[in-house]
């Protein structure tokens, strides 16, 4: 990762994305500050209670936000690789599908869909093939982990056929 010390016309422009990060850090700091300020001050003997450290962290985040703005304006953030968003959408979609379907359809089907979506993100788009492979693999994993190692993995219609 190279730093922006070598002056080029591109890195010297204010970095919008980095400014967004600064806003995020400031918002996070503000949120912690707001949450901590509703805590009762129970300093006890130490003079510092449950709210003290959150205040310090919130303050730290605000300082870091200002520092980020400073570096963003100077263009000190490293150059970024171009990101392709198609694959990202596939994987995030797969994870979301697994999250929502886990309780209803059980571990194997939900995770099989995640498996197929991830494979699709890396270029294997033949879903009619990858989904069954994923479900079969996840069922095998379920049988080993839930059956033999007694991990509590949610069962669905498919798992009930076997267990």
Partner 1 sequence: MNTFDFLLQGLLVAAQPMNLLYALIGVTLGTAVGVLPGIGPALTVALLLPVTYKLDPGGSLIMFAGIYYGGMYGGSTTSILLNTPGESASIVTALEGNKMARAGRGGPALATAAIGSFVAGLIATIALAFIAPFVVKLALVFGPREYFALMVLAFVTVSSAFGDSTLRGLTSLFIGFALAIIGIDQLTGQTRMSFGVPDLLDGIEVTTLAVAMFAIGESLYIAAQGDLGPDKVEAVKGSVWMNRQDWARSWKAWLRGTAIGFPIGAMPAGGAEIGTFLSYATEKRLTKHPEEFGNGAIEGVAGPEAANNASAAGTLVPLLTLGLPTTATAAIMLAGFQQYGLQPGPLLFATNPQLVWGLIASLLIANFMLLVLNLPLVGLWVKLLTIPKPWLYAGILLFATLGTIGANPSVFELGMLLAFGVLGYVMRIFGYPIAPVVVGLILGPLAEQQLRRALSISQGDVTVLFTSPVAAVLLVIAAAALIIPLILRARGRGEVLAQLAASED
Task: Looking at residues 34 to 73 of the shown chain, list those that interact with partner 1 (rule: CB under 8 A).
Answer: 35-36, 39-40, 42-50, 53-54, 57, 60-61, 64, 67-68, 71
Which is closer to partner 1, CB of 37 or CB of 162?
37
DSSP sequence for 52-113: HHHHHHHHHHHHHHHHHHHHHHHT-SPP-----HHHHHHHHHHHHHHHHHHHHHHHHHHHHH
Which is closer to partner 1, CB of 120 or CB of 158?
120
Which is closer to partner 1, CB of 23 or CB of 151?
151
CB of 154 to partner 1, least distance (A): 5
Which is closer to partner 1, CB of 75 or CB of 134?
134
User: Binding marks (x or -) toward partner 1, 143..162, rule CB under 8 A?
Assistant: --x---xxxxxx--------
The 3-state DSSP class for residue 153 equals coil
CB of 163 to partner 1, least distance (A): 16
Which is closer to partner 1, CB of 3 or CB of 162?
3
A 10 A CB-CB count for 41 gives 12
* Buried-state track 3-33, b at ≥16 Cβ within 10 A, e below 16: ebeeeeeebeeebeebeebbeebbebbeebb
Find the binding residues for partner 1 in span 88-127 (CB under 8 A): 88, 90-92, 94-96, 98-100, 102-103, 107, 111, 114-116, 118-124
State the Cα–Cα distance between residues 117 and 42, nearest whole angstrom: 50
| Site for partner 1 contains 136 (CB under 8 A) | no
């Amino acid at each position: 990762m190279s730093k922006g010390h070598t002056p080029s016309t591109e890195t010297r422009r204010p970095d919008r994305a980095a400014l967004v990060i600064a806003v995020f850090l400031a918002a996070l700091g503000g949120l912690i500050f707001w949450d901590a300020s509703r805590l009762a001050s129970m300093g006890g003997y130490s003079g510092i209670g449950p709210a003290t450290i959150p205040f310090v962290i919130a303050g730290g985040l605000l300082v870091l936000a200002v520092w980020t703005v400073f570096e963003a304006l100077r263009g000190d953030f490293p150059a970024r690789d171009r990101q392709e968003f198609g694959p990202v959408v596939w994987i995030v979609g797969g994870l979301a599908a697994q999250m929502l379907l886990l309780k209803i359809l059980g571990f194997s089907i939900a995770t099989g869909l995640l498996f197929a979506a991830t494979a699709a993100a890396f270029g294997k788009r033949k879903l009619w093939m990858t989904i069954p492979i994923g479900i079969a693999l996840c069922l095998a994993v379920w049988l080993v982990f839930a059956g033999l190692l007694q991990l509590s993995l949610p069962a669905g219609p498919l798992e009930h056929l076997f267990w």
